[in-house]
Amino acid sequence: MTDWTEQTATARTWFETLRDRICAEFEAIEREAGSDAAFDYAEWAREEAGNEHPGGGTRGLMKGKVFEKVGVNVSTVRGSFAPEFAASINGASPEHPEFSATGISLVAHMANPHVPAVHMNTRFLCTQAAWFGGGADLNPPIPYEQDTEDFHARLRATCSAHNPTYYERFKKWADDYFYIPHRKVHRGVGGIFYDHLECEDEAGFERNLAFTKDVGEAFLDIYPRLVRRRMESAFTPEDKQTQLEWRGRYAEFNLVYDRGTLFGLKTGGNIDAILMSLPPEAVWS
């Protein structure tokens, strides 16, 4: 495996910086709502037999008045995939199962059903290849066309600044990926999803890191605006029931189909951090 240690450290620094800025903005929203809720951070260390430096991460969790449950995780890990899992990962194989990875992952479940839930993650992963992946998608229990249009417009502008083909490609990827086959419904109103933006050399790394940074900046710009737009909306018991039923669909996707959940479980990640994406309460009618 090519040594991407320096690049991994650079990506990790960005992910940690982005986490700090997102958490500060979310705490500011709680203050605006009259809440003193703050993120609680828990460090965790990965364990792998024969690996002296398996890495670990930090799980940030907040439960507040606006954000019923929001988790923001950053992890940096390295080791070897199990042979059968290695065969499914870009650039890895049973003969070359070594990997390193660093990334940020965020899921927010909101108290008010009119405020959209959201998912965002970006990552840098190295096997025999090195690449960036990630994206952001909006998951409203009660969709608003204006929110959907604004969210997509911000992501479209970000993509267009880097490559004129990115938005349509990555939007379709999100539409295809965030789909629940057994329900025949999408998990939300979409966004972008990308993977395997490969870094053949330092120039490729810098190019793809720049795009990944801008995806993070786009999220930090647009999502707090949507929260502030809806967080004081009145809602009925029927609205809350709609939200709880929708959350059940969200949980089904994350437990059955989500590749990030599978990756975390297969690589010895922290269980609480992996499953922080699950909603605090859901119903199945």
Cβ–Cβ < 8 Å for 103, 134: yes
Cβ–Cβ < 8 Å for 164, 170: no
CB under 8 Å to 262, separation ≥6 — which residues?
none
Strands (E) located in 127-253: 130-139, 179-180, 185-186, 190-198
- The residue annotated as part of the active site, out of 119, 162, 182, 196, is 119
Nearest to 5 by CA among 205, 196, 197: 205
Three-class DSSP category at 222: helix
Backbone angles phi, psi at 215, to 5 degrees: -60, -45
* Catalytic residue status for 162: no
Report which residue type is found at 222. Answer: I
Rounded Cα distance between 248 and 250, Å, is 5
Cβ–Cβ < 8 Å for 44, 57: yes
The helix or strand, by DSSP H or E, that contains position 16, with its residue range, turns out to be: helix 5-32
- The residues annotated with a catalytic role in the active site are 119
